[in-house]
Amino acid sequence: QVQLVESGGGLVQAGGSLRLSCAASGRTFSNYAMGWFRQAPGKEREFVGSINWSGGSTYYADSVKGRFTISRDNAKNMVYLQMNSLKPEDTAVYYCAARTSGASGRYSIQYDYWGQGTQVTVSS
């Protein structure tokens, strides 16, 4: 079993930055790919970005490419989502997810474990 706990959400003005963190339990964290997803009110959950087990490969949704960066620290069982140049349309609950396959994935069905989410609100 893997438990994931997100933190770092909050209220920020458009153009600002936030860094989300996801703490993972379990000794096999370094084997897992990790993903970030988000869900805005009334919308489906959507892919934000992912990172493979080693951190050597990342993928991003077009909507966040160039503004968001995913990183991980396997020694600390942590994954991060640095969000810059935030826009009101980035407002959502952000979830981190773990995939026991070490390869990154873009689809929520590919992920085996999920955190409870953290709210990000970007004001205009």
Beta strands per DSSP E along 9-109: 10-13, 18-24, 33-39, 46-51, 58-60, 68-73, 78-83, 92-99
pLDDT (tens digit, 9 = 90+) per residue, 54-63?
A: 999 999 999 9
Q: What single DSSP character describes residue 104?
A: -
The torsion angles phi and psi of 89, rounded to 5 degrees, stand at: -70, -5
pLDDT (tens digit, 9 = 90+) per residue, 30-73?
A: 899 999 999 999 999 999 999 999 999 999 999 999 999 999 99
Query: What integer pLDDT is reported at residue 79 of this predicted model?
Result: 97
Q: Determine whether 21 is exposed, middle or buried from the number of CB atoms within 10 Å of its CB (0-12, 13-18, 19+).
A: middle
Q: What whole-number distance in Å separates Cα of residue 107 and Cα of residue 50?
A: 10
- Average per-residue pLDDT in the chain? 95
Question: Tokens for 113?
Answer: 């474990």
Q: Is the pLDDT of residue 28 over 90?
A: no
Query: What integer pLDDT is reported at residue 116 of this predicted model?
Result: 97
Work out the pLDDT band at 1, boundaries 50, 70, 90: confident
Q: Determine whether 62 is exposed, middle or buried from the number of CB atoms within 10 Å of its CB (0-12, 13-18, 19+).
A: exposed
- Kindly give, in sequence order, each residue whose CB lies less than 8 Å from that of residue 37, ignoring residues fewer than 6 positions away: 45, 46, 47, 48, 94, 95, 96, 97, 108
Query: What integer pLDDT is reported at residue 67 of this predicted model?
Result: 98
Query: What integer pLDDT is reported at residue 82 of this predicted model?
Result: 98
* Best CA proximity match to 16, nearest among 8, 27, 24: 8
Work out the pLDDT band at 102, boundaries 50, 70, 90: confident
Work out the pLDDT band at 101, boundaries 50, 70, 90: confident
